A and B are shown apart, each in its own frame.
Chain A
Amino acid sequence: MRWMLHKLLPLLVLSCLLTGCWDRVELNDRAVILGWGMDKEQDGQYLASAMIFIPQSNNNNSDGDLASLSKHFEVFTGKGRSIMEAANQIQPKLSRTIFAGNRRMIVIGESMARDGLSNILDEYSRNKDVRLRTDMIIVEKGTALSLLKMVYPLEDSPATGALKIHENTGGLADKAMVYFLQAINDPGKSPTLPQLSLSSKEQSQKQEMQMTGIAVFDNNLKMKYKLNVDETHSFFWLTKKINKFSITVPIKEKGVINVDMHRLSSKIAVKLVDGKPQFEVKLKGDVMIVENETALHLDQMEDFRKVKEALNLKCKTDMEAFLHHIQQEKTDVVGFNGYIHRKYPRTWRKMEPTWGPDFAHASIKVQANMTLRQIGLTGTSIENEEDPD
């Protein structure tokens, strides 16, 4: 009998805990949040909105076909003086327990972003349900609520839509939060977040959303200004987050050429001259011409060279414009500080406290060296061929 006891003891103890199940929540008792929005109202109150999945039973559907489910979402909001208060207002409105483990999109209204994100981030990085792979997006001149409430026809929810738009325009969508946190933890580097804008579709009530650039934050996590789409491309190029995009290259007195650029790479070198950092940016990439609106004969060396020069110039000026902009704003979004840090760790320690203003005066030289790989199937533009230029 002792032998039996010996084996049964653990089972007995375990069954004493049968009364447990503290954490068991049936799936049907969870309100799955897929997108989260934070806004600051004009009266100074915070507005939290949660986009919650409304499961629709498919039992009436005779096929029992899971794929044909219509997905349905509803936005619930909460208002409060502080962010937590606003967030806590949501649960009382729900018959099910909030579950944020699958929240992959955090939308922030511009007013909120300008007010500062430091309060939000703490919760987002402390909550153990939430993953680091989360996308964060700023709604330009709009509210997070309006984005979450819109109907996006391509995807099942606007949150997914925004995520995929972000993904498609070159950013690594679900790494947005990690990049943001990394920049925060890197003194000297300014954090950035992608920006979307909402616009009304013509002749209809429906809204559209569009990627419009990057919002730049200062070290207090307050949004300072935005970079437009071209600047964003340059930014991504420099930080190696994108490896292809298309631009239109104007050619002196001849018109424009549209090109696809891919296999983009960039190199930043730094040296100290009289204790001041000097950066040299080298841009490289392969170019494919997709449209030639000029009369240039691309199969001829001379014209070819002209195009290439114009192309290099365009890349260089775009990049310089971007760098000029961020230097003016004294925000080092690219992480030039890291290059000094890695190469001159000792000097960097002295430079670190004043890096913001120092960055504004640092000299940055840009060199572009693009390679024209393909000119398409025709050498010259068909319509301009007979043009006696």
Chain B
Amino acid sequence: MVLSNLPRNPSRSDQTPYHEPDSIHLTDDLDQTEHAIRDIFEDCTDVIFRHLELEGPSRLLFVYLQGFTDPHILNLDIIKPLSERNRDEPFTADILKTLVSSISEPITDINLVAGEIACGAIVCFSQGEAAAYSIEISQPPKRNIEEPSNEVVVRGPREGFIEDLNTNITMLRRALPNPTLKTEAFRVGKTAKRKIVIAYLKNIAPVDIVNEVRERIQNITADQVSNYMEEFIEDSAFTLFPQIQNTERPDIVSSSLLEGKVAILIDGNPFVLILPMTLLSGLQAADDYYERFIYTSAIRAVRLILFLISIYLPSLYISITSYHPQMLPTNLLLSILSAREGIPLPVVFEVLIMEFMFEGLREAGLRLPKQIGSAVSIVGALVIGQAAVQAGIVSAPMVIVVAATGISSFAAPRYNVGTAARMLRFPMLILAALFGLFGIIMGSILLIVHLTNLSSYGTPYLSPLVDREGQSLRDTFIRAPRWMMHRRPRPAVRKSPPLSGKSRSNPREERNS
């Protein structure tokens, strides 16, 4: 791995290394335990210690984080029934289990206990028992379920995932009510242990892929993970194309699971990762399955053409105007010729400048507050659009080309696939400037070669266009009516290549260790 070859120099690191503390066992003395816990949570004002003296010898201690647990629920569901129970009976864990369902097995390691508390659970200690129980009734603050703004549909469910993992799993369950929907939980991250759930349908998702996902997730050694854990578990890093899809929509996740894919839900993140991803799934929108199939097929053609335009239009413009003007119809040639008369820059630089400014506009508009956003677009349109043409710095056809390209690059339903196209346009530009059409063709062949060699968890990235052996093409460039798509697509026809150890470790982490 290239990254691992980076010089490891701990002295340059600005972070103190995080050491996994040694495991310490709990004792049966409650005061001692409390003391140990208080030591760990020193200077943490939001940790609550709540004692409960029961009749008899029983003494209980509940430790939890303030914001995570609603005190009323704690009072009503646990403390009140505990205090009202039959006093003669000694306290046992079974009693707790009858009160709340989400209670863990006894935990004896104090560090694990601390971890549970940090994750928002209520931990219950009792006098005379060298174990603790963690109860998950936490209800951390969360936002309401809204329609995701990135993936709006005309028709279809209007709910999107939120940051809360449990809510997300619930939404997924509701979309896919089947016992074979498995949700395996992991805690990933060295410093911040975040909960990650992989969801798949047991009898549909290929075992290879599920195992591979498990393995790669467990190999992650980063400090913390979030949506960017994609980078740790994808197949190839040096590519513009995303190999893991992300979505905020439960319906997309559920239909992907039905296709045999695996979803990764990450706590604190509304984006759910879906893998394996193929290029074509990057060009499909949720709407495709809600609208009528003829319309959808037509729209897919439009999308594909726009995708190609966003890669090729500027380079085609360069190569045809400065290498092969015989390929332009006469009237068009004369128009471009007149428009270009007096423009001081060669076409290549004209294109580069305009593309650069366009990307700048996009980037600036993205970050600005909404109120100022309109100002940017006005200035952009006026300065780049009209003033530049009138001043004779760029030609009008150039503006049209750049604008058309810009619009096309946003037509890809998945934003990160559109990004790939936007980036690809620059190497194509350079090739076109060097060799004209021949350069573009060579660039495209290189691109195709690259795409055919890409894979996502053993599934060819261009699947089902390549390596199709009896695979249906009914949901690719066109969408056949639902009742015709009776064959389930196979994400991995072959066994995945040995990918173990391929999950990338955090470079920073490696330097520190």
Contact = CB atoms under 8 A, between A and B. Distances in A.
Chains A and B in contact, CB within 8 Å: yes
Interface of A: 1, 3-4, 7, 10, 14, 17-18, 20-21, 23-28, 30, 32, 34, 53, 55-59, 62, 64, 66, 69, 71, 99, 101-102, 104, 129, 131
Contact of A59 (B334, B392, B435): B392
Nearest to B335: A66
B343 A102 contact: no
Contacts of B391: 59
Contacts of B67: none
A99 B325 contact: yes
Contacts of B336: 27
12 contacts: A4-B2, A27-B322, A27-B337, A27-B340, A32-B337, A55-B341, A57-B342, A58-B338, A59-B341, A59-B391, A101-B325, A129-B326
A102 B435 contact: no
Contacts of A10: 446
A1 B390 CA distance: 50
A55 B238 contact: no
A57 B436 contact: no
Contacts of B281: none
Contacts of A101: 324-327
Contacts of A71: 334, 338
Contacts of B434: 14, 17-18, 20-21
Interface in B425-443: 431, 433-436
Nearest to A104: B330
Nearest to A4: B2
Size class of the B contact interface (CB-based, 8 Å): 35 or more
Interface of B: 2, 5, 238, 321-328, 330, 333-343, 346-347, 386, 389-392, 396, 431, 433-436, 446
B325 A64 contact: no
B339 A1 contact: no
A24 B322 contact: yes
A1 B321 CA distance: 40
Contacts of B334: 32, 53, 55, 71
B407 to A, nearest CB: 20
Contacts, number: 94
Nearest to A99: B325
Nearest to B386: A64
- Most chain B CB neighbours (cut-off 10 Å) among A3, A7, A32: A32
B325 A102 contact: yes
The list of the 10 closest CB pairs from A to B, nearest first, reads A101-B326, A59-B392, A57-B342, A57-B341, A55-B341, A55-B338, A55-B337, A102-B330, A27-B321, A69-B338
A59 B433 contact: no
A29 to B, nearest CB: 9
- Most chain B CB neighbours (cut-off 10 Å) among A3, A32, A55: A55
A97 to B, nearest CB: 11
Contacts of B325: 27, 30, 32, 99, 101-102
A57 B433 contact: no
Given A32-B337, A59-B341, A64-B396, 19 more contacts: A4-B2, A18-B434, A27-B321, A27-B322, A28-B337, A28-B341, A30-B337, A57-B342, A59-B389, A64-B389, A64-B390, A66-B338, A66-B396, A71-B334, A71-B338, A102-B325, A102-B326, A102-B328, A102-B330
